[in-house]
Amino acid sequence: LNKETTSDFGVRVVLLLRFLAVIYINCNWDITGGNDLISAMMPGSKFNADHSLLSKETIIQHKYEQLNMIGNGSHGIVYKARDLANNETIVALKKITVPYNEDGVPTSTLREIATLRQLDRFEHPHIIKLLDICHGQRLEKEQQLVMFLVFEYIDQDLARYIERCPPPGLEERTIKHLMYQILSGVDFLHSHSIIHRDLKPQNLLVTNTGHVKLTDFGLAKMYQFDMRLTTVVVTLWYRSPEVLLSLPYETAVDVWSCGCIMAELYKLTPLFSGTSEGDQLDKIFRVIGTPSKEQWPENVSLLWSSIVPRQPIPLEHIIPEISTHGKQLLQQMLKFNPAERVNTFQALNHEYFMYKTDGKTF
């Protein structure tokens, strides 16, 4: 076997092992230590009626003191709060509302909570830690239940980190350090059959020591190997071509978002800042070039003939500071065809992150 064949074989072995691990995890999904979680979550079950995944009989005001609002998005309001039962530790309190009816909380909602709990068991260093889940009041008129997700508190996101970066910008070594952590977190999600679907600087928290953690799983979705998702997701500037074209998508949407974030770490401004879906596609094609007619996907409403033909711009013209290996990785993450993009495992093993002559990783 030559070097290339051996490397490809190694990747295939790792992917196979991951597939088997996912099967094992999904077949042992009971995080309550008792009966099978899926059957326990069915409407009308004692599990659903008691909200077994929530802190029972919790009165949120008695456990946490809300200090100030630190975020307000489509998936809930986030407060800085004090944990009154744990030495007044500062936490992040995310308030959300979920549908509620005579059968209780929908199975889909409980499954999402179970996913968060399952992820938390692994204590991955680059996934935000879920500390508690509490239920609040029922809004009978709206048929909604107020819930609070309690996370560890980190006081800045990557967007603010970039904003605070002094001229002339971040050193490539620092960018590598940040990107490796981001890709590690995303790779962990993908290895557990989860697509984040909303990766952007605002959903990446950064400590004062440069430690990155993924957060905001409001759009995260479990997927199966024969399942292709079609729901509109991802903030516009970090949205992949297949999502913009309303095509089915898989984990590669997260890789595209990571590529956009990587470019932003170099530029300190978004790579593709479109004002609409059409403008976003045009900005993408201005950089990577217009796909050929043969590359254009079938069954999309946007005709290939209606697109302005553009030649790709060399990345070094857009990001002069990027290294050769950095350019290669970024190009592989920003492929128009999702099947041609690197996956997270391949990205983490790219030469961009390899050892240098001084023996240091980056």
CA angle 65, 67, 72 (to 5 degrees): 115
Could you give the C-alpha distances from 239 to 8, 93, 343, in angstroms and in order? Answer: 29, 28, 17
Token output for 153: 């508190």
Which residue, among 178, 280, 190, 283, has the nearest Cα to 235 in the 3D structure? Answer: 280
Tens digit of pLDDT for each residue in 312-332?
Answer: 999 999 999 999 999 999 999
> What's the pTM?
0.80
- Domain covering 158-353: architecture: Orthogonal Bundle (1.10)
Of the listed ranges 63-72, 117-126, 216-225, the one predicted with least confidence? 216-225
Domain ranges of the chain: 1-28, 37-152, 158-353
Task: Please tell me the distance from the alpha carbon of residue 218 to that of residue 251, in angstroms, as a whole number.
Answer: 16
| Residue 335 CB contacts under 8 Å (≥ 6 apart), including other chains | 288, 341
Count of residues making up the chain: 362
Structure confidence at residue 277 (pLDDT):
94
| Annotated active-site residue in 157, 187, 198, 254 | 198
Q: Of 24 and 273, which is predicted with more confidence?
A: 273
Structure confidence at residue 57 (pLDDT):
39
Contact criterion met (CB below 8 Å) for 157 and 201: yes
Residue % of the chain over a pLDDT of 70: 74
47-79 exposure pattern, b = at least 16 Cβ within 10 A, e = fewer: bbeebbbbeeebebeebbeeeeebbeeeebebb
Structure confidence at residue 284 (pLDDT):
98
Structure confidence at residue 206 (pLDDT):
97
Structure confidence at residue 235 (pLDDT):
83
Structure confidence at residue 29 (pLDDT):
38
Is 36 known to be catalytic? no
From the number of C-beta atoms within 10 Å of its C-beta (0-12, 13-18, 19+), residue 287 rates as middle
Of the listed ranges 78-87, 228-237, 248-257, 350-359, the one predicted with least confidence? 228-237
Do 37-152 and 158-353 share a fold?
no
Structure confidence at residue 134 (pLDDT):
85
Query: What is the fold of 37-152?
Result: Phosphorylase Kinase; domain 1 (3.30.200)
Of the listed ranges 48-62, 140-154, 221-235, 324-338, the one predicted with least confidence? 48-62
For residue 152, how far is the Cα from the chain centroid?
Answer: 17
| Mean pLDDT of the residues in the chain | 81
What are the percentages of helix, strand and coil residues in the chain, rounded to 5?
Answer: 40, 20, 40
Secondary structure class of 307 (helix, strand, coil): coil
Strand pairing partners for 196? none
Tens digit of pLDDT for each residue in 65-98?
Answer: 989 998 886 567 899 999 998 999 999 998 888 8
Structure confidence at residue 75 (pLDDT):
66
Structure confidence at residue 14 (pLDDT):
53
Going through 4-84 in order, the beta strands assigned E by DSSP cover 64-73, 76-83
Structure confidence at residue 31 (pLDDT):
35
Tens digit of pLDDT for each residue in 156-190?
Answer: 999 999 999 988 899 999 999 999 999 999 999 99
Token output for 146: 């107020």
Strand pairing partners for 95? 77, 148
109-139 exposure pattern, b = at least 16 Cβ within 10 A, e = fewer: bbebbbbbebbbeeebebbbbbbbbbbbeee
Contact criterion met (CB below 8 Å) for 264 and 270: yes
Structure confidence at residue 38 (pLDDT):
34
Structure confidence at residue 112 (pLDDT):
66
Consult the annotation and say whether 63 binds a ligand.
Answer: no
